[in-house]
Chain A
Amino acid sequence: MALIGFLILFPLLVAGVLLLVGNETARRVIVCSSAVIIGFGSVWLVLANLGTPWVGIEFSSGAIDIVCTLIGLVIAAVILCFGVKYKNVLACVLAVVQVVGSLVFDVFVAHGIEVQYGLYLDSLTLVTTFIIGVVGSGICIYALGYMEDFQAHEPADAKDRRPKFFALMFLFLSAMYVIVFSNNLLWMFTGWEITTVCSFLLIGYTKTPEAINNAFRQIIMNLAGGIGFLVALFAIALTMDTLSLVEFIAVGVMAPALVALPAVALAFAGITKAAQMPFHTWLLGAMVAPTPTSALLHSSTMVKAGVFLLIKLSPIFLVCPVAAVMTILVGGLTFLLCSFMAISQTNAKRVLAYSTIANLGLIVACAGVGTPEAVWAATFLVLFHAVAKSLLFLCVGTAEHHIGSRDIEDMDLMFERMPRLARFMMAGIMIMFVAPFGMLIAKWGTLVSFADTGNVALILILGFGSAATFLFWAKWLGKLSGIAAHPLNVETTVHRSEWIALMVMAVLSMLCCVGLPVLSTFLVEPYIFDVFGVCSQGVSQANLWVAALLSAVVFVVLFGGLGSKQVKQVPVYLAGVSENNANRTFRNSLSGETMATSRNWYMEGVFGEPKITPVGVWATSIIIVVGFCAAIATLCGLL
């Protein structure tokens, strides 16, 4: 299993090298080649272990435990340093609590506990490895061109912090690999904290007051989550005398009452990391960062770590009602309310952010339900969300640099000359919300699993949430739909590295849609069988093939047929005497000229943030508090 070690250590090495390299050409070569190596390494690992059951790797080392402790200290030092510099008391306090807590844990509690299988591999890990290795490193390549433009847009005397930026990106990938491969919860926790601090530094990259502010919001919320993780570690080590994830899950399935507290605490950690309400504001705030950061946080790392942990815990949720109810309700409400709020947004990145939070909510709810069908659906939601969302972020980032706006209303006329980019964006959007593409097929599986398990509330939430999803994507897609009619192309100013990354994401998302039945059989089903001992999926294989076939047809139409036919063109109807049809001006009742304009609906009055956010924040906060109280009560009752 040298490959696992390689995947963890290689990005770390690259990060170290990139930190020292200031030369643009050298960085280009290093980033491209190492991204390709990481991508191939990940794909190789997936292919070599296709359909694998849980495989533990005997590996334990006191030295690594000490390194973990040291990393914890460094992280705390970094946060304290920034906290003092920008006078943020809360962040300092939380960092101190966490570092003291983890020191106590490392020295007094974890000391005598040895985890035989430090690392492991199963099919869910493979799915996540694929996402990190291919989508994550694709975003790194994209960042090369993007950051060059970004630096060009900065004031001339601005300091070039790109070495740090790229180093953080690769460090992030390494930390994600640590999270997905570690069976030792202490190591996983270290990876967890590294991702937190990496995203803190990436969000604050521009050092504007807004960026600093949002970075601190992120770190405070995720430190709270980290403390939740620490509580779980204490509870697991003290009550079960183990730090192995697989043993914890095995005990949890046998004795649900015993694991109620750690399960709730870990669920809390997952919920903060996956940006669920009431913690969703950190992901919205993360939008101030350069687009590759958003793409990385949203699609392949950070939030995916949160849902990865929750999906891992789903066998416990199946038998432990306290943790399950909390997870399901928080996830379900987040899905519903964030889908509503997405309708009222005009900023493309904010729509993407709300849609991410909503989709993660659905994944969290599925993990909470914990039946084989629900886990099947959750895994597919993770996969499709990763590929489609990264594609969309990269498209929006490129568009922003070329039309100078991230407002959806600006995406029709100014966008006109980027038909290829528009088609990529259309493909990404369609994959996100409509049948026969991946996300909706996963949602279909979700609906079936909710119907099977008798979850009325979740069925209702899914029904209304999906309807809202339809509206906000459809109106954005509508804005783009006319662009394909214009063959004129001035996309030549887009960097080649950006095109390559966009192509990779587009091809990847389409392959995933068309290869859905195959992915189900070889990647997702083995995990379900391994964990639950049954082969069960919400959507029958035959229907998956129908969906795959239809997706292929739509892709062919979108990239092949659309706009190729020549017809006699006539101007649009403007009801009245038009002055100039090309400019859409007509003569108004005062004999002046008026321009005909139209805007999409955003329905602020019904779905506006000020109306919905407080409801969601209060409801989910209460649910989490009640969850913790119930878990503590369960534990006390047991003792």
Chain B
Amino acid sequence: MYLIPIIVGTIAFAVLAPVVGCLLAGLDRKLSARMQGRVGPPILQPYYDVRKLLEKDRAAVNNVEGTYITCALVFAILAGGIFFGGGNLLLSVFVLTLSSLFFILAAYCTRSPYSEVGAAREALQIMAEEPMSLFIAVAFFLATGSFDSCAAFGLEIPAIGATWIAFLGFLFILTIKMRKSPFDLSYSHHAHQELVKGVTTEMSGRTLAKVEVMHWCENVLALGWIGLFFVWGNPVSLVVAVVAALAAFFLEILIDNNFARVKWQLMLKSAWAVALVAGGINIAVLMYL
């Protein structure tokens, strides 16, 4: 019985998330361009890019890279399905980590120096953001009594009321999750601060297209987490959640365009400090007060 919503959620997420994610990516490029005083590409440009990638010749540096990326994409979609299907938040976090692991393996397996640097940085990004991802799930559990995302619909007041400190911490690591500057160490879309092309250096054609789609799905899932904290027992709250998620998205674009990439030491230390303070304080307050 428990599995049916997850299956339905996964199918729905597999269809809808790429569409929404693609539009968001187009919006991102448009807004960034406007912030930099450019006109920017059409809103559907990310879609055109991926379509073109899909038409490219199949060539790769080895025969396992594609398999790893397919696994990464499938598990990213599954993580989204678990989240939006009302499933367990921790399971969703863990499955997303599995997806990232396959992404990292795909970069490592090429044994290209640039790709390996990107892979190591991607692993470091996961290490930097993972504690806060767990703490926000624990905070949600303490506020609602359940680790299932569907529990948000049974609330009188949205979870943000009791978890706003942890939520601020989550906003901080959202930049890492969405790979936005200043924390875009592994894979940047700002050409001037990238070491060749980071983690995707050796990926091309279909493989790169899958990476793009996975990235869209990840972004939708990350924004879903933002929305989760603004949902309560009233259907109107869904509108509030979408508005909150879009506001967070706009904030990320603003940050992205105003900061240069930092070194890994600063990213790791700041992300862990934020997780320790925001997560620790919020969890302690919820437990003991």
Interface of A toward B, CB cutoff 8 Å: 412, 434-436, 440, 444, 447-448, 451, 454, 456, 459-460, 462-464, 466-468, 470-471, 474-475, 477-479, 481-482, 484-485, 540, 542-543, 545-547, 550, 554, 557, 561-575, 596-598, 600-601, 606
Contacts and interface: CB of A to CB of B under 8 A. Distances in A.
A542 B114 contact: no
A451 B130 contact: no
Interface string B105-149: 111111111111101100110111011101100100110000100
A464 B124 CA distance: 13
Given A435-B97, A600-B120, A572 B112 contact: yes
Interface in B6-61: 6, 57-61
Nearest to A600: B120
Interface in B51-91: 57-64, 66-68, 71, 78, 88, 90-91
B113 A598 contact: yes
B62 A485 contact: yes
Given A546-B3, A554-B98, A598-B116, 8 more contacts: A434-B97, A435-B91, A435-B94, A454-B287, A466-B134, A468-B127, A543-B88, A564-B63
Contacts of A482: 62, 64, 108-111
Interface in B270-289: 272, 275-276, 279-280, 283-284, 287-288
Given A460-B279, A568-B60, A571-B61, A435 B123 contact: no
A202 to B, nearest CB: 35
Contact of A448 (B113, B123, B147, B265): B147
A567 B63 contact: yes
B201 interface: yes
Given A434-B98, A463-B135, A470-B126, A572 B109 contact: no
A467 B109 contact: no
B95 A435 contact: yes
Contacts of B63: 485, 563-567, 569
A368 B67 CA distance: 43
B66 A475 contact: no
Contact of B288 (A440, A454, A554, A564): A454
A443 to B, nearest CB: 9
Per DSSP, chain B at the interface is helix
Contacts of A470: 97, 101, 123, 126-127, 130
Nearest to A437: B98
Nearest to B111: A482
A550 B97 CA distance: 13
B202 interface: yes
A462 B137 CA distance: 13
Contacts of B3: 542, 545-546
B141 A567 contact: no
Closest 8 CB pairs of A and B: A478-B108, A435-B94, A572-B112, A463-B131, A482-B109, A542-B2, A485-B62, A481-B109
B155 interface: no
Nearest to A557: B71
A546 B75 CA distance: 13
Interface residues of B, number: 69
A475 B109 CA distance: 11
B103 to A, nearest CB: 11
B101 A573 contact: no
Given A436-B98, A481-B64, A460 B124 contact: no
B58 A573 contact: no
Given A435-B91, A451-B138, A563-B64, A477 B127 contact: no
B239 interface: no
Given A435-B95, A444-B94, A546-B91, A601 B58 contact: no
* Candidate in A444, A540, A598 with the most chain B CB atoms within 10 angstroms: A598
Contacts of A600: 120
B69 to A, nearest CB: 12
Contacts of A571: 61
A124 B191 CA distance: 57
A511 B75 CA distance: 22
A435 to B, nearest CB: 3
Contacts of A570: 59-61
Nearest to B126: A470
Contacts of A468: 127
A567 B60 contact: yes
B61 A456 contact: no
B104 interface: yes
Contacts of A412: 111
A440 B68 CA distance: 21
Contacts of A545: 3
* Candidate in B60, B123, B124 with the most chain A CB atoms within 10 angstroms: B123
Contacts of B107: 478
A484 B64 CA distance: 7
B251 interface: no
A464 to B, nearest CB: 5
A570 B66 CA distance: 14
Interface in B243-267: 265
Nearest to A487: B63
Contacts of A444: 90-91, 94
A315 to B, nearest CB: 24
A570 B6 CA distance: 40
A568 B108 contact: no
Contacts of B117: 598
B138 A478 contact: no
A46 B120 CA distance: 44
A567 B138 contact: no
Contact of B202 (A540, A572, A598): A572
Nearest to B206: A567
A611 to B, nearest CB: 14
Given A468-B127, A568-B58, A447 B287 contact: no
B240 interface: no
* Candidate in A463, A554, A570, A596 with the most chain B CB atoms within 10 angstroms: A463
A467 B133 CA distance: 10
A598 B112 CA distance: 8
Contacts of A460: 131, 135, 276, 279-280, 283
Interface string B184-207: 000000000000100001100000
Nearest to B280: A460
B33 to A, nearest CB: 28
6 contacts: A436-B94, A440-B94, A481-B108, A562-B64, A569-B59, A572-B111
